[in-house]
Structure formats: C-alpha cells, structure tokens
Amino acid sequence: MQALQYLLENQTAFISTVATLSLMVGSFLNVVIHRLPIMMENSWRAELESFTSGDEPTQNEANRITQQTETFNLSTPRSRCPHCGHAITAIENIPVISYLALRGKCRSCQASISARYPLVELTTAILSAIVAWKFFGDPAAALTAVALTWVLIALTGIDYDTYLLPDNLTLPLLW
C-alpha cells in the first residue's frame, strides 16, 4: 500500500513505472499485432467452410477446426523465429534489451529480426509515459488513457499490416 501511495505522490516514479510496464505490454502488443489477424482469418475460413458445405460439419472437420483454434491464439504456441523455428526463450524476450544484446539477430540461425519489434515496444513505453505525465494526479484517468493508448497502438499496427480494424478491439472503445 505504501508503494502505491509513493507512486501516486512521486511523478518521476509513477512515469518510470508506467514506462517500464509499457515496455512489457509493448512486447505483448507485437504478439497481438501479428496473431490477431491470423486468428480472425482462421475464424473466417472455418465459418466459410461450414457455410459453403451446406451441411453440418462432420466430426472430423469440427475436430480439425477446434484443434486449429486451440493451438493458435494469443498465448500459444510460443513465439518462434520465422526462419528456423527456434523457440524464443524468456531471456531472449526481454523488451528492447534482448534485441540489442542479440544485435537484432536470432540466437539460433542468425537471421535478422525486424526492427519493428523494439520500435513497437519503445513507442508503447514513450507514449504511455507521456500519457502518465499528462494525467498524473488522476490515477483513474491515467489508467484509462494508458489502456486506450495500448489499444490504439495495437490497432495501428494491425491496420498498417492488413488494413483491418478488428471489432473485438474497436467496439469496446465505443462504450
């Protein structure tokens, strides 16, 4: 409780904490930006298959669709190098620091890792710090504005890649 009180009274500590947390959230936003459009496409394909078949999906089709959606979501499978399939370890997944330590290359195959990943992480941290600075003294407004910033960053990345704005991210912003 004292730590929370300290954060609410000390602007530098508050902004630093928000920025550090936002680096980690930025890492997750990279996953959302990459995987959510793929998940949407998988869902559309499954709906299209069931619609065009005219019949109820067979048990095998239903199992395949279920297995596909269970094995590809925001938490599974673990992040991997797109070139060699190397599973990214926790130490290789530290926002920005891992990218710099690995010099922007996969530890296993030495293939280049896109600079987009640390840029999204840094952008998330910087914008969140600015929002925290602007709303310091009003924790509810700061929390709301930082969360809105995170959603907008995810929407920007998805829109840039696919020209889509997913309903499950945009519709909650209306309420």
Amino acid present at 145: A
pLDDT value, residue 63: 60
Q: Are 148 and 156 in contact (CB under 8 A)?
A: no
Q: What is the pLDDT of residues 27-43, one digit of tens each?
A: 999 999 999 999 999 99
The per-residue DSSP string of 107-157 comes to TTT-PBPPTHHHHHHHHHHHHHHHHHHHTTT-HHHHHHHHHHHHHHHHHHH
Q: Are 31 and 74 in contact (CB under 8 A)?
A: yes
For range 98-110, the mean pLDDT: 95
3-state secondary structure of 80: strand
How far is it, in rounded angstroms, from Cα 101 to Cα 145? 32
Q: Are 114 and 137 in contact (CB under 8 A)?
A: no
Q: Are 29 and 146 in contact (CB under 8 A)?
A: no
Q: What is the pLDDT of residues 135-173, one digit of tens each?
A: 999 999 999 999 999 999 999 999 999 999 999 999 999
Q: Are 32 and 164 in contact (CB under 8 A)?
A: no
pTM (2 decimals)?
0.87
Q: Where do we find the tokens 């995810």?
A: 154
pLDDT value, residue 153: 99
Amino acid present at 71: T
Q: Are 80 and 86 in contact (CB under 8 A)?
A: yes
Q: Is the pLDDT at 90 greater than 60, yes or no?
A: yes
Q: What does residue 105 show for φ and ψ, rounded to 5 degrees?
A: -130, 150
Query: How confident is residue 71, by pLDDT bands cut at 50, 70 and 90?
Result: confident
pLDDT value, residue 60: 63
Domain positions in the chain: 1-173
Q: Is the pLDDT at 23 greater than 80, yes or no?
A: yes
Q: What is the pLDDT of residues 123-132, one digit of tens each?
A: 999 999 999 9
Q: Are 162 and 44 in contact (CB under 8 A)?
A: no
